[in-house]
Homo-oligomer: A and B are copies of this chain.
Amino acid sequence: MEQRISLITLGVGDLARARRFYEALGWQAGMVVDDEVVFFQLNGLILSLYSRAALARDAGVVDEGSGFAGITLAHNVRSEPEVDAVLSEAERAGGRVVKPASRAEWGGYSGYFADPDGHLWEVAHNAGFPIDAQGNTLLG
């Protein structure tokens, strides 16, 4: 298995609401299929929004589950003020700041927001992980 990922699919309770949230962050959908799936082209991979019930069905698992999902996404930025700015932007877009930005144990600066379906995004400045001109994040 090659060391790479192709898609992240976020199961959502209300596709239109989830789409509005990510578009309010300034994202542009690259493809929408039958008003059922919304795809965003990210840096080398795709993020898709899809009905949570349909996603469970597709995976062949029961759509029961609650609480902490045990997985987080992170969006690193190039400065500390940008961390606060993105968290505020997420809040204005309809997200919830779960943890305001603060100094992290590992020396950086980070906070978390939840999207309307509770998917957790960390927003972080980590000087050790450079971001290249294409927006890719690299191990230092």
Contact = CB atoms under 8 A, between A and B. Distances in A.
A13 to B, nearest CB: 9
Contacts of A11: 68, 70-72
A88 to B, nearest CB: 10
Interface string A129-140: 101001111111
A29 B87 CA distance: 30
B60 A68 contact: no
| Stoichiometry (number of copies) | 2
Nearest to A85: B1
A65 to B, nearest CB: 3
Given A1-B27, A69-B69, A120-B59, A44 B134 contact: yes
Interface of A: 1-11, 25-28, 30-31, 33, 39-47, 52, 55-56, 58-76, 86, 89-90, 98-99, 104, 106, 112, 117-120, 122, 124, 129, 131, 134-140
Given A6-B129, A59-B99, 6 more contacts: A1-B27, A5-B8, A7-B73, A52-B70, A62-B68, A65-B65
